[in-house]
C-alpha cells in the first residue's frame, strides 16, 4: 500500500485516540465532528493508536482507475478490544497535489 496513505491512516487514528477531532477532515455531506464525537462516546472504551500489524488488515479500494480517490475501511482498536467491532471508513482524495484523508463513517 502507498506509504502516504498508511501515514494518513495512522495520523487519523492517533487524532481520534487523543480526542483531537478538530484536526480531522470531514467529508461534506457525510460526516461531522459532532457526529463522530457522538459515535465515539457509544464505543465505551477509548480508541487506541493503531497497533503493530493493524495496517495489514486494512481494506483499500480504488473505485476508479482514472480518479485519485481511495476508500479505506478498517476496524479501530480500543483499550478493551484489539480489534474492536467498530469500522472506520476514510475517503482519501488528491487535493492540491497531496493526499488528504476525510472521515466518511464510523459504524458497528
pLDDT for 106 equals 94
Using CA atoms, how far apart are residues 64 and 90, in angstroms rounded to an integer? 16
Which pTM value belongs to this model? 0.90
Q: Specify the number of domains making up the chain.
A: 1
pLDDT digits 0-9 by tens, 57-85: 777 888 777 778 999 999 999 999 888 99
Q: Which residues span the domain enclosing 22?
A: 3-107
Percent of the chain with pLDDT over 70: 98
Please answer whether residues 51 and 82 qualify as being in contact, where contact means their C-beta atoms are separated by less than 8 angstroms. yes
pLDDT at 108 over 80: yes
Provide the 10 A C-beta neighbour count for residue 49.
14
Amino acid at each position: 500500500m502507498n506509504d502516504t496513505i498508511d501515514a494518513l491512516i495512522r495520523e487519523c487514528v492517533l487524532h481520534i485516540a487523543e480526542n483531537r477531532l478538530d484536526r480531522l477532515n470531514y467529508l461534506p455531506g457525510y460526516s461531522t465532528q459532532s457526529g463522530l464525537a457522538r459515535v465515539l462516546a457509544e464505543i465505551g472504551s477509548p480508541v487506541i493508536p493503531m497497533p503493530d500489524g493493524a495496517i495489514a488488515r486494512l481494506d483499500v479500494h480504488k473505485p476508479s482507475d482514472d480518479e485519485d480517490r481511495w476508500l479505506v475501511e478498517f476496524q479501530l482498536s480500543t483499550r478493551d478490544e484489539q480489534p474492536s467491532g467498530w469500522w472506520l471508513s476514510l475517503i482519501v482524495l488528491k487535493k492540491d497535489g497531496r493526499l488528504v484523508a476525510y472521515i466518511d463513517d464510523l459504524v458497528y
